Structure 1
Amino acid sequence: MMPAHEIKGALTFLREAERLKSVLRSGHTSTGRPESTAEHTWRLCLMAMLFADAFGDIDVARLLKICIVHDLGEALHGDVPAVAQSDGTDKAAQERADLEALTQPLDARRRAEILALWQDYDSGGSLEARLAKGLDKLETILQHNQGLNPADFDYAFNLGYGVKQTGVDPLLATIRTELEGETRARMAQQPSSQADI
């Protein structure tokens, strides 16, 4: 059984992590509501679970843990959409600092595990981390294609987004090809000049 002080620390951490439910992303749900980072993380984990056995000999639990913590640092200062990121900003450094602050209430072992999983994701050190990165990009593209987005939504962004990360595994590349077809279909439905790309 966990000691009482560790239980209290875990509950404090979970209360703070709940903020991720209110962090909005640039994509929209199929009902037109802005998607939260927590919702993105949930479906990323579902994707990882569904495709895990096709990746061969991997540590599925590690893959899922990495997916769970990959955007946890956004709970404090929010998400910076890929289209809004610039070369001068260090999104990873901000997320790492926020994750360090967020995990303060945890006992040393649990805190170290979360920080190590996030670091692995950020650096792409393990196969599981690289798969998580690829799946993360694919889940974003899937949501962009599925969402009830504003009329001026830039579907063309999907075509170049995460190409490197989705090229690390044949299954990821196959899924990407399928989603690119969906992206082009969404672009063709738009009345704007984006359909000409």
Structure 2
Amino acid sequence: MHDPYSPRNDEEQPAIEPSRLRGIVDFVQAAERLKDTLRSGATAGGRAESVAEHSWRLCLMVMMFGKELSGYDQHRLLKLCVIHDIGEAISGDVPAIHQYSGDDKAERERADLIALCAYLPEDLQQEIVELWDEYNSAATPEAVLVKGFDKLETMLQHAVGRNAPDFDYAFNLSYGLAQTSRHPLLRQLRRLVDDATRARLDAPADG
């Protein structure tokens, strides 16, 4: 059995097939658009937040609760965090306050994701689409958690961001209630996040 702490001889690893390597690089380059895909919230410095930044902090949040979530597949949790909004690289983000029942947002995002994954070899295309489907339908305990953390990260950003004077903080108090009520840790975090939202409601408008 290989000792994970022993030195590795990477020269013994077979070279990746060139077309597979190119497909992965092309996909990563296409996904770079997420860095310029903006969301409705703002950073603490007042700059528009990107989808890539949201996904990064979602990963960071989940990672920080590794001890509390030790019974879950940690690697899968992070994969779901990375993939959950990646289809927005093509059509952009729709703010929650502008979403409505019957909207085809999920279908559009899935179609965009499939288009984005066209660069990839078939096994990786299948893995990413399956991860997105798992997240979208909350099909596993890990997906349920990521859906809840996704809502909480969004609300935490709103609580710290230098948002527009007419930003609707009250909307956050009813936002994502179903998703953030499905695990004790999510519920505990929700109480803290709601307190932060109420503090912003009572604070003077950003200037």
TM-score, structure 1 as length reference = 0.95
1:14-35 Cα deviation digits (max 9, x unpaired):
1110001101000000000010
| Larger of the two Rg values belongs to structure | 2
TM-fit CA distance, 1:88: 3.5
The reply on whether 1:143 has 2:157 as its aligned counterpart is yes
Q: Which has the higher helix share?
A: 1
Structure 2: distance between partners of 1:150 and 1:26: 10
Stretches of structure 2 that go unaligned for 5 or more consecutive residues are 1-14
1:29 paired residue number: 43
Amino acid at match of 1:73: G
TM-fit CA distance, 1:58: 0.5
2:113 paired residue number: 99
Residues 84-95 of structure 1 aligned to structure 2 (within 5 Å): 84-95=98-109
1:52 paired residue number: 66
Q: Out of 173, 183, 186, which is 1:169 matched to?
A: 183
Three-state SS of the structure 1 residue aligned to 2:126 is helix
Give the length in aligned residue pairs.
Answer: 191
1:167-187 Cα deviation digits (max 9, x unpaired):
111111111101111110110
Stretches of structure 1 that go unaligned for 5 or more consecutive residues are 192-197
TM-score, structure 2 as length reference = 0.90
1:97-150 Cα deviation digits (max 9, x unpaired):
000000001011111110110000000000000000000000000000000111
Structure 1: distance between partners of 2:73 and 2:102: 35
Structure 1: distance between partners of 2:114 and 2:128: 9
CA RMSD of aligned residues (A): 0.9
Three-state SS of the structure 2 residue aligned to 1:151 is coil
**Is 1:151–1:190's contact at 8 Å kept on the other side of the alignment?**
no
TM-fit CA distance, 1:151: 1.0
Structure 2: distance between partners of 1:124 and 1:53: 22
Q: Once the two structures are aligned, what percentage of the paired residues are identical?
A: 51
1:157 paired residue number: 171
**Is 1:73–1:99's contact at 8 Å kept on the other side of the alignment?**
yes
The reply on whether 1:115 has 2:129 as its aligned counterpart is yes
